[in-house]
Homo-oligomer: A and B are copies of this chain.
């Protein structure tokens, strides 16, 4: 039983905690967070041991009547591996704590690549993380792109990748973020950081990414072009994708026109938080023009990195092969079904 501590219990941390809990070979050692808000309540309802990451220790939690087990150091002591899901940049600051306890840790995509030895995507480079001390699970967008490029690269070769990322302005509960009524090239300069980030996973891929931010909160949408090194027909590509457990081809018949209906579908299906762990590719959009593949995919920013974090735990612990881990994670969560 791997004991996994979660430092940072927000959008990503709470999902990773629940995903770890669902695994047969792991348990949640505890979760650390800064403030006694509704998410602290949820942690306790779930039965997670709660640790305070607040500057003034247990006080704010005690004032709110919420029992805590200690601070971040105490949590690290209880953990074989820590998943750090604190806000961008805070992970790097926390690294010293993990080093001090000689405890391996997983960082998230908000950290710079050099925080860890390997930028991780289970489909693309699981083996690179075996036995590593520090691993960074790449961001939601990079995860979505890596899952798609891996099989294309293996089967057809990839000559050039051009992606426009139409990103949601904020998560659904980010009430302070905009824009309200605008479409922002973001960044204006090209490429956006996503291209270079994909290259931390596939160092030799030629890729140009262009980012925009729009007033929606549900998912990112990628408009994607890949120039392949060969010219498969579109049905071959369709079959290739259909075989990938973390790619979901949305059939036209379902009548799903965007992220609203898609999340309604997964919520109806009873998934926790309506989470969409898979890349969702609109089947109808799959198009080949010579060696050029075009498609649209939707990426649930809050969810797609969750199974990747679980796999990263097993890779670090050398507790399973890539195939075993991915299958175990998928099965425990219901990914791909």
Binding site for B on A (CB under 8 A): 14, 35-39, 41-42, 45, 64, 160, 162, 164, 166, 168-170, 172-186, 188-191, 208, 210, 212, 214-219, 221, 223, 225, 252-261, 263-265, 267-270, 272-274, 282, 284-285, 287, 289, 292, 294-296
Contacts and interface: CB of A to CB of B under 8 A. Distances in A.
A282 B181 contact: no
Given A164-B223, A166-B212, A294-B208, A268 B175 contact: no
Contacts of A294: 190-191, 208, 210
Nearest to A160: B292
A210 B166 CA distance: 12
A14 B274 CA distance: 15
A181 B183 contact: no
Contact of A223 (B160, B182, B212, B272): B212
B296 A260 contact: no
A73 to B, nearest CB: 26
23 contacts: A14-B268, A36-B253, A38-B254, A38-B256, A38-B265, A41-B265, A45-B269, A170-B180, A173-B264, A175-B260, A176-B179, A177-B179, A183-B259, A185-B221, A185-B296, A186-B257, A188-B284, A188-B285, A189-B287, A191-B287, A214-B215, A225-B225, A273-B274
A144 to B, nearest CB: 14
A258 B213 CA distance: 10
A170 B188 CA distance: 22
Q: Which 6 A-B pairs have the closest CB atoms?
A: A37-B255, A164-B164, A184-B258, A164-B223, A38-B254, A181-B181
A180 B183 contact: no
Nearest to A174: B178
A9 to B, nearest CB: 10
Copy total for this chain: 4
B35 A255 contact: yes
Contacts of A273: 267-268, 274
A182 B265 contact: no
A312 B111 CA distance: 53
A264 B263 CA distance: 14
Contacts of A263: 172
Given A188-B296, A212-B221, A268 B183 contact: no
Given A14-B268, A263-B172, A182 B289 contact: no
Contacts of A175: 178-179, 182, 184, 257-258, 260-261
A254 B189 contact: no
A268 B42 contact: yes
Contacts of A178: 169-170, 174-178, 180
B190 A180 contact: no
B219 A183 contact: yes
